[in-house]
Chains A and B, each alone.
Chain A
């Protein structure tokens, strides 16, 4: 979906190169979520219950 494309493109441009291995693994895990769930996490419309993803979601939502 376009909304995610736009956010993820910004993330890849500005944040991706700064991820360490653990963060990269979190990011890859997060991408396994359905598009709508991921978009809801980023928008703050749905709380993410996986604690280790929450910092990554916060970074994504700033993009």
Chain B
């Protein structure tokens, strides 16, 4: 079967902040650049980022990138690579000022500088006191960033392929990456995008969890494509959760509700946080509240038919207070939970928010994989940036406002690497193998020919419920073991999905079936990596690795200070060392310590 082929110097998959920043670097350098996106660029999930972007500008309080680096290493629970973290923190001011020059409407101080606000986990003088480091555009920082970068790309003649879904990575027999296959959603036609360089910037994969703050587009497409092409996925056991998302919808209920007097209750109406945090109760830290909620659910005190959520109760507050101070929350509750919180409690569950792991890269944005003698050998022609990548700057836990910084710094860095490799003559256009599109065509052909099988919705729900129950915010040894067996069973069901609609034009059923192939890769990676890591670290907290004098916070540096690499072909895991040495002599390594705040 002959299929259309398009040729570019570089193809970028994903048009969120990382993809747009990388594209800009390439197009402004004169490279013929294509960006593929399932949605219009300014609708990418970066749009949801509100808090800001971290940079030690020192406009509002004294600051230094050394302090930012310290906070980031500590926040990562020492799993972050210190060379990449140094690179990111050092580059932060540069990329923020660039963005300002692109027209990003940052909030301003009285003297016209970029206004900076404080954010959790960020400090001055190595944890001594809070610092104002977050540069924001009101509460729409991601939205403003996307618009600034998109407009700049239009000016630079970046070619956008909007409502195109990349299907598979194309590699030759030597492992070189030669582009992607992609599906035009409007026509249902498959094309080959042949390129000298391929950059993945596909964002997160939070839809693998039953409760997620992620938009519907976040199905882990880049991770799925990389995994099927033999690239391992790194540190996939680490996911950040927010305690109060609306059950079944995932929309966030801000901590401010508990600040106004909201109380968490179990099925018996008990204010259970009194048992877990007698002093702070419902206002304990996010991780403590989330783990307490999960313990209630796992011990059978959850609410509803499936006993899989708890209740956030503000019915004791007067309607006037709710209407005055929490109108948005009331709106969300009525719309997404069908509950007026003036009259009844809101069903909530800890909700998946951010993926710390991803496609392994170095600080240059080059995708790396282990080879004999080098655990981080660059894959020729392949780069990644943003939430889909693992540089690794977030390690076991991400600090707020470092996600937007990550996508700016490493989006630019990946672009710079491609330009440098291109100008050095190292990115020749290698010939496509004869079977370049075979895997994609076979996937589509299966969906077209399958007369019966498993519903995509049912399998997706099975993935989401399995991940939520077995690899959620608080992990239990037995549940993890069961979870591995269950997710492997679900993976078998995913091989035999069936869609009734065989049409080509705007066939969303087919798109969802193809996305499911990516979700199951991410789900397997997460479950198997989580079961394998026998310590608690950052966002990965196990009941059988508690806080002890020998292992503070349950962390076991002697055995587990290492990155996980999961391989799709046989589900095996390998490990590689954490980079404890910074990139330069400008800063001392941040020595291992207990993570306390």
A and B together in one complex? yes
**Measured CA separation A9–B550 after assembly (Å):** 51
> Closest residue of chain B to A10, judged by CB?
B335
Q: Known interface pairs A34-B143, A35-B143, A36-B143. Does A5 touch B42 (Cβ–Cβ under 8 Å)?
A: no
Chain B positions within 8 Å of A50 at CB level: none
Asked if residues B42 and A34 are in contact (CB atoms below 8 Å), the reply is yes
Which of chain B's residues have a CB closer than 8 A to the CB of A51?
none
Report A27 CB to chain B, min CB distance, Å: 15
What residues of A have a CB within 8 angstroms of the CB of B216 in the complex?
A: 2, 5, 9
A6 to B45, CA, bound (A): 14
- In the complex, which residue of chain A has the Cβ closest to the Cβ of B249? A6
Q: List 17 A-B contacts (CB under 8 A).
A: A1-B48, A2-B213, A2-B214, A2-B215, A2-B216, A2-B249, A2-B250, A2-B251, A3-B332, A3-B336, A5-B215, A6-B249, A9-B216, A35-B42, A36-B47, A36-B140, A43-B328
Chain A 1-21 residues near chain B, CB threshold 8 A: 1-3, 5-7, 9
Of chain B, the residue at the smallest CB distance from A3 is B251
Least CB distance from B193 to A in Å reads 27
CA distance A7 to B249 in the complex (A): 11
Closest beta carbon of chain B to A8's beta carbon, Å? 9
CA distance A6 to B249 in the complex (A): 8
Residues of B within 8 A of A1 (CB): 45, 47-48, 215
Q: A2-B249, A43-B331 are in contact. List 4 more A-B contacts (CB 8 A).
A: A2-B213, A6-B336, A35-B42, A45-B328
| Chain A binding surface, main DSSP class | helix
| Chain B: minimal CB distance from A59 (Å) | 14
Nearest to A2 among chain B residues (CB) is B215
Q: Mark B211-242, 1 if CB is under 8 A from A, else 0.
A: 01111100000000000000000000000000
Residues of A within 8 A of B335 (CB): 7
CB-CB nearest in chain B for A43: B331
Q: Which residue of A lies closest to B508 (CB)?
A: A12
Residues of A within 8 A of B140 (CB): 36
Q: In the complex, which residues of chain B have a beta carbon less than 8 angstroms from the beta carbon of A45? A: 328
CA distance A5 to B213 in the complex (A): 11
Q: Taking the nearest CB of chain A, how far is it from the CB of B246, in angstroms?
A: 10
Q: How far is the CA of A5 from the CA of B216 in the complex (A)?
A: 7
Q: Which residues of B contact A43 (CB under 8 A)?
A: 328, 331
CB distance from B104 to the nearest CB of A (A): 15
- Provide the residues of chain A in CB contact with B336, threshold 8 Å: 3, 6
* A: interface residue count bin: 10 to 19
Closest to A32 in B: B40
* Contact yes or no, B143 A2, CB < 8 A: no
If over half of B's interface residues share one DSSP class (helix, strand or loop), that class is named, otherwise mixed; here it is helix
Query: With the chains together, A36 CA to B142 CA distance in Å?
Result: 11
- Which residues 190-209 in B have Cβ within 8 Å of A in the complex? none
| Contact between B331 and A2, CB atoms less than 8 A apart | no
Indicate which residue in A7, A9, A35 contacts B47 across the interface (CB closer than 8 Å): A35
Q: With A35-B143, A36-B143, A43-B331 as given contacts, are A2 and B42 in contact (CB-CB < 8 Å)?
A: no
A6 to B212, CA, bound (A): 12
Interface string of A13-48 (1 = CB under 8 A from B): 000000000000000000000111000000101000
Contacting residues, chain A, for B332 (C-beta < 8 A): 3
Find chain B residues with CB under 8 A from A7 CB.
335
Closest residue of chain B to A62 (Cβ to Cβ) is: B335
Does B43 sit at the interface, judged by CB under 8 A? yes
* Chain B residue at minimum C-beta to C-beta distance from A7: B335
Q: Using CB atoms, name the residue of chain A closest to B42.
A: A34
- B403 smallest CB distance to A (angstroms): 15
A35 CA / B45 CA spacing, docked (Å) = 11
Nearest A-chain residue to B45, judged by Cβ: A1
Q: Which chain A positions have C-beta within 8 A of B213?
A: 2
A34 CB to closest chain B CB, in angstroms?
Answer: 7
Residues of A within 8 A of B42 (CB): 34-35
For the complex of A and B, 5 pairs with smallest distance between CB atoms: A5-B216, A1-B48, A2-B215, A5-B215, A35-B47
Instruction: Write the nearest CB–CB distance from B281 to chain A, whole angstroms.
Output: 29
Looking across the interface, which residue of chain A has its beta carbon closest to that of B147?
A: A34
Q: How far is the CA of A2 from the CA of B42 in the complex (A)?
A: 14
Residues of A within 8 A of B251 (CB): 2-3, 6
A34 — which chain B residues lie within 8 A by C-beta? Answer: 42, 143
Chain B hits for A9, CB < 8 A: 216
A36 contact set on B, CB distance < 8 A: 47, 140, 143
Q: List, in ascending order, chain B residues with CB within 8 A of A5's CB.
A: 215-216
- Contact residues in A for B214 (Cβ distance below 8 Å): 2
Complex Cα spacing A9 to B335, Å:
13
How far does the Cβ of A43 sit from chain B's closest Cβ, in whole Å?
6
Q: Enumerate chain A residues within 8 angstroms of B250, measured Cβ to Cβ.
A: 2
Residues in B neighbouring A6, C-beta threshold 8 A: 249, 251, 336
In the complex, which residues of chain B have a beta carbon less than 8 angstroms from the beta carbon of A2?
48, 212-216, 249-251
- Beta-carbon contacts under 8 Å, B132-178 to A: 140, 143
Q: A2-B48, A9-B216 are in contact. Are A35 and B43 (CB under 8 A)?
A: yes
Q: How far is the CA of A3 from the CA of B209 in the complex (A)?
A: 17
List, in ascending order, chain B residues with CB within 8 A of A35's CB: 42-43, 47, 143
User: B250: nearest residue on chain A (CB-CB)?
Assistant: A2
Q: Which residues of A contact B215 (CB under 8 A)?
A: 1-2, 5
